[in-house]
Structure 1
Amino acid sequence: MSDDTQLDLGDDPSLLLVDDDEVFLKRLARAMERRGFVVDTAGSVAAGKALAVSRPPAYAVIDLRLEDGNGLDVVEALRAKRPDARIVVLTGYGAIATAVAAVKIGATDYLSKPADAGEVVNALLQREGDVLPEPPENPMSADRVRWEHIQRVYEQCDRNVSETARRLSMHRRTLQRILAKRSPR
């Protein structure tokens, strides 16, 4: 799909982009405008929630971790005002647990950063019943699967390290060291 391909966005092409990476936000906003979206941008949870409530868009792309909080708060605010909105959550962390949490509270899909405008558009416009993309050629390693499981339990425990360590039968400090590291490939 080229950068200037006009899409069938229905009657309402409004799009909210929420990300605290200003360069990425501006670049994605320009690319989405070229595709026919009417774009509002926000660089924080507070600004994103304000726009979601005052002008609920048909589409939204929301970063998961923002400087002033969690992008899932914006997803919840938008879902409350506009249940039919198509919402994609972006995460630089790529944890299955956070993706599951995003989908449970109303996100349509999630993408790992870096994601280009074409991937974002495909995720926004994918409808139920569409053919799913091919599975990855190189699946997760065993270390990555372990790390994803730990992240899922951590999210289920509301990010409480002590409770997570207890449920996983592991020492709290060991868990803290694992959580402080980047995810394995």
Structure 2
Amino acid sequence: MKRLLIVEDDLSLASILGRRLTRHGFECRLTHDASTALLVAREFCPSHILLDMKLAQVNGLSLIVPLRNLLPKVTMVLLTGYASIATAVEAIRLGADNYLAKPVDTQTLLAALEMDGHTHMLQKDDVDDSPLNPKRLEWEHIQQVLNANQGNVSVTARQLGMHRRTLQRKLLKKPVGESGYLK
């Protein structure tokens, strides 16, 4: 049986994730703060870890290295409601195997957890050290919110606080390079 440690400070979300993933063959343990995460990981010896990026006053990124040192072969997925390219890159650099934005559906979560340590949605070798273009960051964030809303432009525009037509114009322009957008 696959053993999953869920480190999530939102108690109801942690319970929901635990129930969902138990139905898919995981033996789940929950912890709700950074201080007990390492202790539970040491005792439980999980094969998989689902780690929230924002844990009350602590950043979940700070747990990646100690967890990776403790369990070098664990499959670790960072889950966040504050997704950005910069934090995705940092999570992969620190040793996370995958990075997902909340809300996440069960199939996407299972796919991320089932990846072996050699396959990442964002490959470590793909990480670029060049500064990120703000237009590119905005475009990536829009894509992520749009994906979370199953392509619904109206709902995405409301969530992002912009007019629907403005969002549609932004979606037509993918930023490349340092110069800005490429039509």
TM-score (norm 1): 0.63
Determine helix, strand or coil for the equivalent of 1:57.
coil
> Does 1:51 pair with 2:44?
no
* Counterpart for residue 65 of structure 1: 54
2:136 aligns with one of 135, 139, 145: 145
Query: Structure 1 residue 55: deviation in Å?
Result: 2.6
Report the Cα distance in structure 2 between the residues aligned to 1:126 and 1:145, rounded to whole angstroms. 27
Q: Which amino acid aligns with 2:84?
A: A
Change (3 A) 1:14 1:131: closer
Report the Cα distance in structure 1 between the residues aligned to 2:5 and 2:55, rounded to whole angstroms. 15
Report the Cα distance in structure 1 between the residues aligned to 2:65 and 2:109, rounded to whole angstroms. 20
* Counterpart for residue 63 of structure 2: 74
Instruction: Determine if contact 1:17/1:41 at 8 Å carries over to the other structure.
Output: yes
Residue identity over aligned pairs, in percent, reads: 31
Report the Cα distance in structure 1 between the residues aligned to 2:120 and 2:13, rounded to whole angstroms. 28
Change (3 A) 1:58 1:22: same
Which runs of 4 or more aligned residues in structure 1 lie more than 4 Å from their structure 2 counterparts after TM superposition?
A: 129-132, 146-149, 182-185
2:17 aligns with one of 21, 28, 36: 28
* Structure 1: runs of 5+ lacking an equivalent: 1-11, 133-141, 150-181
> Does 1:39 pair with 2:11?
no
What is the alpha-carbon root mean square deviation over aligned residues? 2.9
Report the Cα distance in structure 2 between the residues aligned to 1:105 and 1:129, rounded to whole angstroms. 15
Report the Cα distance in structure 1 between the residues aligned to 2:58 and 2:13, rounded to whole angstroms. 18
Instruction: Determine if contact 1:18/1:44 at 8 Å carries over to the other structure.
Output: yes
Change (3 A) 1:82 1:92: same
> Does 1:126 pair with 2:77?
no
> Does 1:91 pair with 2:80?
yes
Determine helix, strand or coil for the equivalent of 1:122.
helix
Query: Structure 1 residue 124: deviation in Å?
Result: 1.1
* Counterpart for residue 129 of structure 2: none
The answer to which structure has the higher strand fraction is 2
Query: Structure 1 residue 91: deviation in Å?
Result: 1.0
Query: Structure 1 residues 66-75 or 90-99, which shifts more?
Result: 66-75
* Counterpart for residue 101 of structure 1: 90
Q: Which amino acid aligns with 1:115?
A: V
* Structure 2: runs of 5+ lacking an equivalent: 123-132, 141-159, 168-183
Q: Which amino acid aligns with 1:114?
A: P
Aligned residues: 133
Determine helix, strand or coil for the equivalent of 2:37.
helix
Query: Structure 1 residue 101: deviation in Å?
Result: 1.0
Q: Which amino acid aligns with 1:92?
A: G
Instruction: Determine if contact 1:56/1:78 at 8 Å carries over to the other structure.
Output: no
